[in-house]
Amino acid sequence: MSSVRTISSDDYRRVGRAAAGSVSVVTTLDRGCNAVVGLTVSSFVTLSFEPPLVMFAIQHDANSYRSVVSSETFGVSVLDAQQVHVARCFAVKGADKAATVEIETGQVLAVPLIARALAHVECRTSQIHISGDHAIVVGMVEAARARDGDPLLYFARQYGTFVPLAGP
């Protein structure tokens, strides 16, 4: 039987930074204080097309953790390349995030969404899996829409955009 080698925390973080991802903001309404709460994520992915499911990961110590995992609904706004200020705002702990970012209301579930985002997804919470220091939240998509534009990307602790390679 082979022994398991444990990777150092620093090495594992370097591996994580090597994976580029689109930047999204997950939002919900905290019913206790009637406030918009949310966080910036680069872990948002479509999980299934039939039925339409999405997922993202949220760290247990995130300020919005309790509100997000206890909510029955949430919204995801995939950010446009021009929305770096939104990504930074929702990445900061403790800030009144909705005070400096324009929020709109979802058309089907009335969840808070980031205005002028590249895409919006309105979801009902389907499953929550606790794994390590994160929860993986799976949402059933009730409404989705997208527009043309350039996505905001995150790579190696920096925001950027997509530049296609030349050729076929």
Give 63-120 pLDDT, tens digit per residue.
Answer: 888 888 889 999 999 999 999 999 999 998 776 777 889 999 999 999 999 999 999 9
Count structural domains, the chain: 1
Among 17-21, 36-40, 112-116, 144-148, which is the least confidently predicted range? 17-21
Q: What value does the mean pLDDT take over residues 143-149?
A: 96
Place of tokens 């409404």: 143
Among 51-55, 76-80, 162-166, which is the least confidently predicted range? 162-166
Place of tokens 């403790």: 94
Q: What is the CATH number of the domain that holds 79?
A: 2.30.110.10
7 falls within a domain: no
Read off the pLDDT band of 15 (50, 70, 90). Answer: confident
Read off the pLDDT band of 2 (50, 70, 90). Answer: low
- Cβ–Cβ under 8 Å, residues 141 and 53: yes
Q: 105-110: long-range contacts at Cβ-Cβ below 8 A with a sequence spacing of 24 or more?
A: 106/75, 106/143, 107/143, 108/142, 108/143, 109/73, 109/75, 109/142, 109/143, 110/73
Phi, psi (5° rounding) for residue 126? Answer: -105, -50
Looking at the predicted structure, is the pLDDT value of residue 1 above 70? no
11 falls within a domain: no
Looking at the predicted structure, is the pLDDT value of residue 4 above 70? no
120 falls within a domain: yes
Residue 108 DSSP class: S
14 falls within a domain: no
51 falls within a domain: yes
3 falls within a domain: no
Q: What average pLDDT does the structure give for the chain? A: 89
111 falls within a domain: yes
Q: What value does the mean pLDDT take over residues 42-55?
A: 93
Q: Which domain holds residue 47?
A: 22-155
- Between 157 and 109, name the one with better pLDDT: 109
- Cβ–Cβ under 8 Å, residues 37 and 7: no
